[in-house]
Structures are given as structure tokens and as C-alpha cells.
Amino acid sequence: MHNPMITKATLPLTIIASLLSLCSLPALAGWQSLDHSSSLSFISIKKNAIAETHEFKSFNASVTDDGEVKVIIDLSSVATGIDIRDTRMQEMLFETSKYSEAVLTAKLPNGLLASLVPGEMKQFNIDGKLELHGQARMVTISCAVFMEAKDKLVVTSTQPTIIQAAEFSLLDGIKQLTDIAGLDAIASAIPVSFVLTLENDK
């Protein structure tokens, strides 16, 4: 039914008012990671003795004011220090043409962010869901949150999170990498560590 109160003159004002009301809604992500001071790394062990540290150059982490955590990792950004190895990991292990991202979601302890004051740190374990290579599994993460300032958080792993390749259908990829590199073995348990510096975007 036509609303006689909305005329051609008042319609633009109505649209503007609606947009302003949307803008006033609280942001879903109160905290966003800073690329230059955040890192996400993992360790590969070959020949049962040689450990090497690798990293992902591109990822985004966010935490809402309610403590909802989401980390999106660009798997094509894997960096091992050797270009051909990066390409092999992308193509043979992660199969980035089909699975371009890994996504971790988790929830911080209730009330944690509201209770922290600048200079304070708290440690805890949380359970998160990791979606990787077409599979989704629960992982336990040991971490600490340090409130550096009212608008800056640092979230770090206090011990590595062990990712089991078999749980994410990555064993075939590891075998391909082992064969093409002429190695006896590459470990299928992968320790992952992180340092996330986040700023409040409000």
C-alpha cells in the first residue's frame, strides 16, 4: 500500500536515515590483526632429525568484543625460503587450486576481554575448529592474551598446536613431497605457533 507520508521529497532523507542506522550497529570484529607484527609459523621435520621453520605470509585474524575468534590463512602464501618448495607445497600438499584457505574459529573464555586491563596477561586453553583441505577438526590451542594498551592486544601460543596430517587428508601430499625431494621421511605431525597483534578498530 502506498504510504502517503513518503513523498519524492522525503524519500532521499528516508534512505539516508536507514543507512545511518546501519552504520550505528556494532562492528562484528572489534579487533583486527596487524600484518607487520603478527606471524604464523609451522615446523617440518625431515629424515627424522632435521627441523625447518616455515610461515604463512598472508592471513587475517579478528576477534569480536564477545571473544569470537576467526583466522583466515591464505595457503598460497606459504613461505619456506625456497621457491620451488613453496610451489610444491601449494600444488601437492595444500592443493591450493581447490582449497585456497584454511579457517580457524574459536571462542575466548567468557568475559576475558572485558576483564583485561592494560599491562595484564592471562593464559588458557581453548578448543577451536580448523577447516583445512576439505576437512574440519577440533584442535586445542594453548595461548596467552596480553593487553598491551586499551586498543592493542597480543595473542600468542604458549606451546605449539600439533596438527595431524592424517586428520586433514594431507598424507598423500606429504608422500609426494617426500618422493620428489628424495627423502626417507617427512613427519606427519606438524607443530604450529603464532603471534597475533590486534588493534581495536572502533
pLDDT at residue 35, as a whole number: 82
How far is Cα 198 from Cα 148, in angstroms, rounded to an integer? 10
Residue 166 lies in a domain: yes
Residue 139 lies in a domain: yes
pLDDT at residue 21, as a whole number: 40
How far is Cα 150 from Cα 96, in angstroms, rounded to an integer? 38
Tell me the CATH number at 47. Answer: 2.40.128.110
Residue 4 lies in a domain: no
pLDDT at residue 48, as a whole number: 85
Half-sphere exposure of 70 (CA within 13 A, CB side): 12
Residue 21 lies in a domain: no
In the chain the first and final C-alpha atoms are separated, in Å, by 40
Residue 146 lies in a domain: yes
Q: What range defines the domain where residue 134 resides?
A: 27-200
Residue 14 lies in a domain: no
Residue 104 lies in a domain: yes
- Domains in the chain: how many in total? 1
Residue 7 lies in a domain: no
pLDDT per residue as tens, the chain (202 positions): 444 444 444 444 444 444 434 333 333 448 999 888 999 999 999 988 899 999 999 999 999 989 999 999 999 999 999 999 999 999 999 999 999 999 999 999 999 999 999 999 999 999 999 999 999 999 999 999 999 999 999 999 999 999 999 999 999 999 999 999 999 999 999 999 999 999 997 6
- The letter for the amino acid at 32 is Q
